[in-house]
């Protein structure tokens, strides 16, 4: 756990960047600091590893006061990832990843073996170890930055806009891979972003800051979306707040409706020209097709994404329904077998009902 207790930072020019901030970043979880430019996110993060000294208040790393321990030793327990990766340009990828283990006196062979494993873990080929940073794309450099931060197996990680220097598609890939790695490693992470989508996607807990480093709200993504503390938070979450909130509502209580389905090319008792669900020879849904001369036409097949009834959420359901030619999403069981379909109207009714339930509870 990392705990902030009444932390204040006033710079020499009189700017108060962080005002009386208290929160706990739980062990093994990702806490995201989010807020508009200049609200004190980076200052907050950098006070954890004492790149910036707080004016008053206490920061605990586990049960240790970070001001009372040796700074160098303390920093080695904290992985630090920054925007643009910040790799050493004249060192190979492997040596970049080994930087902290070398400083810790880890045996060179052991450090290099682990570094090669980490390079693979972050989704790069081991051969990349012998390249120099300038021979990598921005996204690859960010991956190396994450591998380097993980190399000394620190319990804590600080990440300052770690995925912001890459295009939106690479960014989504990096976020997904990062979540996969974190599911295994369970580091205690504080991450800074100004991107609310990234915060909602990655955060177990979100700390929303407003100008002057004032805490606006702290909570899980679902809690913040469901009940923003004030107009500032609601405004920061933006117009797509309702759409994001759908990601946290499971569809398991909705009953899929029966829509005719058939294996491609086989007879079907549906109205000529109607949309039906096409199944493969194992009865897994392929997508939508129309009936032509009483059979499920193979020429008119439109592939479609399916939604899991037990694990799917309203947002996936809405996306699948809106992308479907019939306006309905295909729902499957845990093994991928066809259960039925749900239309976007079901999302709206379901969402309204679950909101009403929340209000009455
Ligand atoms: N060294 C400094 N001296 C004086 N003021 C500073 C210093 N560093 C930052 N500030 C001010 O402190 C406030 C918070 O800055 P900080 O960089 O922590 O914000 P941020 O939320 O990370 O911003 P951004 O999203 O733009 O990176 C800002 O008003 C900034 O101008």
pLDDT tier at 360, thresholds 50, 70, 90: low
Select from 7, 10, 16, 17 the residue to mutate for testing ligand 1; criterion: most ligand atoms less than 8 Å from CB. Answer: 17
Domain 2-248, CATH: 3.40.50.300
Distance from Cα 17 to the centre of ligand 1, integer Å: 6
Distance from Cα 166 to the centre of ligand 1, integer Å: 23
Q: What is the mean pLDDT of residues 298-314?
A: 89
pTM (2 d.p.): 0.80
**How do residues 43-88 score in pLDDT, each as one tens digit?**
999 999 999 999 999 999 999 999 999 998 898 889 998 877 778 8
Q: What is the mean pLDDT of residues 217-223?
A: 92
ipTM entry:
0.97
131 Cβ inside 6 Å of ligand 1: no
Residue 353 in this model has a pLDDT that exceeds 80: no
41 Cβ inside 6 Å of ligand 1: yes
Q: What is the mean pLDDT of residues 317-324?
A: 89
Q: What is the pLDDT of residue 204?
A: 95
Among protein residues, the one whose CA lies closest to atom 10 of ligand 1: 17
Domain ranges of the chain: 2-248, 261-353
Residue 306 in this model has a pLDDT that exceeds 70: yes
What φ, ψ does residue 143 adopt, rounded to 5°?
-60, -45
Q: What is the mean pLDDT of residues 117-127?
A: 89
Q: Which residue has the tokens 């947002």?
A: 315
Is 261-353 in the same CATH topology as 2-248?
no
Q: What is the mean pLDDT of residues 194-214?
A: 92
Q: What is the pLDDT of residue 97?
A: 92
Distance from Cα 16 to the centre of ligand 1, integer Å: 9
Among protein residues, the one whose CA lies closest to atom 28 of ligand 1: 38
Select from 12, 15, 162, 196 the residue to mutate for testing ligand 1; criterion: most ligand atoms less than 8 Å from CB. Answer: 15
18 Cβ inside 6 Å of ligand 1: no
Distance from Cα 296 to the centre of ligand 1, integer Å: 62
Q: How far apart are CA 357 and CA 347, in angstroms?
A: 15
**How do residues 125-152 score in pLDDT, each as one tens digit?**
989 999 999 999 888 898 899 899 898 8
Q: What is the pLDDT of residue 142?
A: 87
Residue 29 in this model has a pLDDT that exceeds 70: yes
Distance from Cα 333 to the centre of ligand 1, integer Å: 50
217 Cβ inside 6 Å of ligand 1: no
86 Cβ inside 6 Å of ligand 1: no
17 Cβ inside 6 Å of ligand 1: yes
What φ, ψ does residue 136 adopt, rounded to 5°?
-115, 155
**How do residues 156-181 score in pLDDT, each as one tens digit?**
999 999 888 778 888 888 898 899 99
Most confident of 168-172, 229-233, 288-292: 229-233
Q: Which CATH superfamily is domain 261-353 in?
A: CBS-domain (3.10.580.10)
Q: What is the pLDDT of residue 87?
A: 87
pLDDT tier at 354, thresholds 50, 70, 90: low
Q: What is the pLDDT of residue 225?
A: 86
Lowest mean pLDDT among 6-10, 114-118, 243-247, 288-292: 243-247
208 SS3 class: strand
Residue 273 in this model has a pLDDT that exceeds 90: no
Query: How many Å separate Cα 212 from the centre of its chain?
Result: 27
CA-nearest of 190, 259, 152, 250 to 44 is 190
Mean of pLDDT over the chain:
89
Q: What is the pLDDT of residue 330?
A: 95
Residue 358 in this model has a pLDDT that exceeds 70: no
Lowest mean pLDDT among 84-88, 91-95, 311-315, 338-342: 84-88
Beta-bridged to residue 325, according to DSSP, are none
Give the percent of the chain with pLDDT over 90: 51
Return the beta strands (E) in the chain as ranges.
2-10, 16-25, 30-34, 56-61, 64-65, 78-82, 156-160, 188-193, 205-210, 214-219, 261-263, 275-279, 285-292, 295-296, 302-303, 306-308, 328-332, 338-343
CA-nearest of 41, 1, 37 to 21 is 41
């Amino acid at each position: 756990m990392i705990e902030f207790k009444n932390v204040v930072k006033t710079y020499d020019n009189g700017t108060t960047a962080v005002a009386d901030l208290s929160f706990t970043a739980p062990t093994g979880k990702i806490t995201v600091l989010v807020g508009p430019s200049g609200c004190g996110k980076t200052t907050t993060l950098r006070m954890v590893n004492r790149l910036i000294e707080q004016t008053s208040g206490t920061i605990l790393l586990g049960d240790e006061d970070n001001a009372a321990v040796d700074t160098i030793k303390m920093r080695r327990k904290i992985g630090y990832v920054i925007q643009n990766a910040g790799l050493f340009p004249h060192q190979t990828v492997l040596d970049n990843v080994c930087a902290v283990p070398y400083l810790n006196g880890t045996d060179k062979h052991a450090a290099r073996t682990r570094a090669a494993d980490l390079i693979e873990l972050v989704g790069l080929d081991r051969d990349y170890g012998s390249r120099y940073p300038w021979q990598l794309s921005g996204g690859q450099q960010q991956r190396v930055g994450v591998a380097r931060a993980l190399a000394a197996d620190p319990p804590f990680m600080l990440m300052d806009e770690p995925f912001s220097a890459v295009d939106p598609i690479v960014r989504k890939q990096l976020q997904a891979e990062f979540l996969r790695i974190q599911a295994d490693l369970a580091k205690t992470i504080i991450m800074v972003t100004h991107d609310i989508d990234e915060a909602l996607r990655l955060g177990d807990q979100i700390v929303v800051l407003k100008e002057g480093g004032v805490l606006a709200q702290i909570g899980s993504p679902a809690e913040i979306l469901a009940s923003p503390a004030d107009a500032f938070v609601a405004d920061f979450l933006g117009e797509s707040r309702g759409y994001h909130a759908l990601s946290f509502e499971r569809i398991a209580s909705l009953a899929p409706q029966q829509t005719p389905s058939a294996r491609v090319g086989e007879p079907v008792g549906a109205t000529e020209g109607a949309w039906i669900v096409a199944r493969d020879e194992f009865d897994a849904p392929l997508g939508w097709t129309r009936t032509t001369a009483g059979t499920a036409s193979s020429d008119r097949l439109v592939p479609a994404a399916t939604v899991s009834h037990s694990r799917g959420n309203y947002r996936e359901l809405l996306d699948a329904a809106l992308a479907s030619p019939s306006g309905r999403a295909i729902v499957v069981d845990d093994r991928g077998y066809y259960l039925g379909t749900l239309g976007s109207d079901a999302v709206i009714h379901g969402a309204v009902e679950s909101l009403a339930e929340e209000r009455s509870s």
